[in-house]
Structure 1
Amino acid sequence: MTYDETLGYLFTRLPMYQRVGKVAYKKDLTNTIQLLDFLGNPHRDFKSVHIAGTNGKGTSAHGIAAVLQTAGYKTGLYTSPHLKSFTERIRINGSEVSREFVIDFVERIKPAIEAINPSFFEITVAMAFEYFAAQKVDIAVIETGLGGRLDSTNVITPEACLITNIGLDHTDMLGDTLAKIAFEKAGIIKHGIPVVIGELMPETQPVFEEKARQEEAPMIYAPPKEWKPKTLVPNYLVKNFSGIYATIGELIRKGWKITEADILDGLDHLNALTGLKGRLQVLSERPLTIADVSHNTEGLRVLFSQMDSLCTGTILLVFGTVKDKDLNPIFQTFPSNARLYWTQSSVPRALPVEELAIQGVMNGKEGECFREVNEAIKQAKEKAGPDDLILITGSTFVVAEIEGL
């Protein structure tokens, strides 16, 4: 098969949560275990760091990977979802997995796919682990998908774990309280493996402490650590610095050679080192145009607060989302002076722009409707003054459809 045919096979045969939603979510590790067994259990052949959380897990994963690269380690990085290219999910020292490897892997594993019928995510996790083992990485930073306890990545025995924070997201699958969601995220805590808790919350603290006690795992509440970045970075990365710093500290205690300079230099050059996209990504100046994949209440609140501090004019907000979101609290985070441009991505999970507009009106938020992301951006640019700020956010898939990203 060609690369496009290979991706077509994966996308059409295997359910992909990001595109179709809850139907693709499997609360079971059986498929992943069977796939990895078929491959000879490659996840046992490399060291790792495991990261879960509601917000900040992706940027924290990239941050830790950047630090490890700066320290001279051959570093794998597995994150999801991708923005433009499937190969973004699997990287070593910032370079994406080759298309040739993807083709070869799917061809080799086809008998297992036919027998097991795994999800898209389960296949991708197995592919990442096989690639990291084959390339003999020193260490890989692994971001969970949904939850943690039954997430496909939760078969590794890492050097350290990080749980960034807990918020009310994916409540239809993970639970409708912070404690229930924390229980799922706490599933990455392993016997005797240190776990860093990035944010102390009264609702989640007992859950984490009980799981750590059961697993006899050292638990570290990340102490506040100030960081003054030299470049423009998302406030949510600054917010997660304490967790990143504490996790690196646990690696140092285990013998990894990482200096303070490695930490600061790595984070200041995070985008260049890891290829991170869609996190406070500046697309153009005057008007300042920024794309960001924040998509839930907590993440958007932090993002909008930072935009308020950057903008001296009006914020022109190009916003689209997916169907399985409670938008009422999200609307309450919107900047009061924002001019709204509703839009939608082309994936099946996208909330139709007409429905988004109706919900907006019900919450006192009125805007113009555009069925295509780039048309909404074009209109915003035509209306924007030089001191205004255009922000495209609300969904990974909205950001992914920006031309030239």
Structure 2
Amino acid sequence: MVASIASGPASFRVPLPFCCSSCSLWPLSGSLVSCPLAGDCRVVTPRDDALDWLLRFSDPIRGVGWNARTTLSPIWKLARARALLDGADAPDRAVPAVTIAGTNGKGSTAAMLAAIVAATGLRVGLFTQPHLHHFRERIRIDGRPIDASQFANAVEAARFSLAVLARHHPEAGEPTTFELSVVTAASAFARDGVDLAIYEVGLGGRLDPVNAIDPIASAITMIDLDHVGILGHTITAIAREKSGIMRPGRVVVTGVQRSAAQRVLSAEARRVAARLLVQQPLARVGNRQNGLVVTVPGIDRPITPGLRGDFQRANSAIAVGVARALSEIGFTISDDAIASGLGATRWPGRMELVDGSPPILIDGAHNPAGARALAAAMRPLIQRGYDLIVGSAGDKDIRLLLAPFARRARRVWTTSAGEGRSADPDRIAEIARELGATVQAMPSVAAAIEAARSGGAQFIVATGSLRIAALAREYCGLADGSD
């Protein structure tokens, strides 16, 4: 494969992958584009290279938020993301935005808010992470992942912005894939003319690339211990990082937090003059086979949310709180839209029940708080023992992750997500035995499910990480196969 390079009247051809000698960037466009560093430099390459190019700025073990070639200076933690957005002509400023931080429930809350706003007839962009099956799931417009052409065009804006960054701020170092993904999402939303963009914060809040965007409203879901090596080892420290998304004069909606977290959020809201709204979980008034029945203040009929789990009452309340805050600043969001949106929300890999013999419950709970919430939410669904299929990242507290399940499960099958960060299944199995479980390590999620089925499992639960959830969905034939 070759790339055509034209500069003035002369042209030549070089084999791909090709790195522009002027800006040191990997080209990826499917059409002619100008390099901001080389005047008439023009590059033609296949659109299929877009994702490959984007992933060049990530660490294969630590993930898309890490790049060994970036600067360690804290000055550039947020400034680099802002510079990249500005280098792409600030697409984030073209669309009103909501940002959502928190430890657990960010994606679910974002999905519910997107469904509520979409129920009004408005067009919604949604940026979340991580993905389950293909990278473009991270960027959705009107409920669907953007297509390959949209993705390539939006990544082109990120590539251009990186060239601008390299020219004007070489001291900033290389960005991360996640930083470039924020630019890609903002560019896709602006190009498509959505009415509202909803961004899930990646890690923390204060220094997260999403916080380079200036939102019209924000939300902070439930705060608990996770990523303690980065965010801090206490609820207070983590809450301080999350509260960094607050803006003067803007609404920030949260749920009923632990007292330590609530004190931090309240103090920070006062400090920056943000308007903090604390939402009580939606009241549960019953259970149906397909989920909870709840009531929303001000709506005189019961609602069955599309997302299962008692913990979704808190997330639903936050989504409703943001929707009503948006109604106060120019968005017309009716009670019918709230009810319809909550009922229509779908978020794969989160308390996802797959009918069959046996049924399989798939959930991406990946930290102790998520595991406790999942275990509690499972009880109305599972009337007898279940087989647990579990894998985890190596940096998680595996003992606390397993604790809510170990003694309740009929059998535990440990496995690996097949990634560099995955914990050894034998190590997980050893911890599960110490907790009193009957356990066996398996080489893959598919092998674990097959073993559980052949061993007489009446109900299977697959959890421990979103990658485990994705592999379980693939086993069940639920992945769409996109790339």
State the TM-score, normalized to the length of structure 2. Answer: 0.78
Pick closer, same or farther for the CA change 1:222–1:12 going to 2, 3 Å. Answer: same
Pick closer, same or farther for the CA change 1:88–1:207 going to 2, 3 Å. Answer: same
Q: What's the counterpart of residue 145 of structure 2?
A: 96
8 Å CA contact retained: 1:194, 1:218: yes
Q: Counterparts of 1:297 and 1:217 in 2: how far apart (Å)? A: 31
8 Å CA contact retained: 2:364, 2:464: yes
Give the 5 Å matches for 1:115-264.
115=166, 116-226=173-283, 227=294, 228-229=303-304, 233-264=308-339
SS in 2 for 1:153: helix
Q: Cα offset for 1:107?
A: 4.1
Q: Percent identity?
A: 33
Q: What's the counterpart of residue 336 of structure 1?
A: 407
- Given the alignment, which residue of 308, 312, 317 partners 2:388? 317
Name stretches of at least 5 consecutive residues in structure 2 with no aligned partner: 1-44, 167-172, 284-293, 295-302, 479-483
> What amino acid maps onto 2:424 in structure 1?
P
> What amino acid maps onto 1:185 in structure 2?
K
8 Å CA contact retained: 1:283, 1:290: yes
Q: What's the counterpart of residue 296 of structure 1?
A: 367
Q: What's the counterpart of residue 380 of structure 1?
A: 452
8 Å CA contact retained: 1:278, 1:399: yes
Q: Cα offset for 1:167?
A: 0.3
Pick closer, same or farther for the CA change 1:123–1:230 going to 2, 3 Å. Answer: closer
Q: What's the counterpart of residue 50 of structure 2?
A: 6
Kindly provide the CA deviation profile for residues 174-194 of structure 1, in whole angstroms up to 9, marking residues without a partner as x. Answer: 000000000000000011111
Q: Counterparts of 2:383 and 2:262 in 1: how far apart (Å)? A: 40
Q: Counterparts of 1:182 and 1:396 in 2: how far apart (Å)? A: 23
8 Å CA contact retained: 1:294, 1:303: yes
Q: Cα offset for 1:17?
A: 7.5
Equivalenced residue count is 399
Give the 5 Å matches for 1:60-71.
60-71=109-120
Name stretches of at least 5 consecutive residues in structure 1 with no aligned partner: none
8 Å CA contact retained: 1:19, 1:348: no
SS in 2 for 1:150: coil
SS in 1 for 2:99: strand
Deviates more, 1:246-255 or 1:62-71: 246-255
Q: Counterparts of 2:386 and 2:189 in 1: how far apart (Å)? A: 42
SS in 2 for 1:165: coil
SS in 2 for 1:304: helix
Q: What's the counterpart of residue 83 of structure 2?
A: 34
Kindly provide the CA deviation profile for residues 138-192 of structure 1, in whole angstroms up to 9, marking residues without a partner as x. Answer: 1011110000000100022222111111100010100000000000000000111
Q: Counterparts of 2:60 and 2:253 in 1: how far apart (Å)? A: 30
Q: Counterparts of 1:74 and 1:21 in 2: how far apart (Å)? A: 28
Kindly provide the CA deviation profile for residues 218-275 of structure 1, in whole angstroms up to 9, marking residues without a partner as x. Answer: 111113432241656233222322212222121112231111111111111111xxxx
8 Å CA contact retained: 2:58, 2:66: no
Q: Cα offset for 1:19?
A: 3.5
State the TM-score, normalized to the length of structure 1. Answer: 0.92
Q: Counterparts of 1:278 and 1:192 in 2: how far apart (Å)? A: 36
Deviates more, 1:93-102 or 1:162-171: 93-102
- Given the alignment, which residue of 76, 90, 96 partners 2:125? 76
8 Å CA contact retained: 1:331, 1:365: no
8 Å CA contact retained: 1:20, 1:349: no
1:347 aligns with 2:419: yes
Q: What's the counterpart of residue 439 of structure 2?
A: 367
Greater percentage in helix: 1
Which structure has the larger Rg over C-alpha atoms?
2
Give the CA RMSD over aligned residues. Answer: 2.1
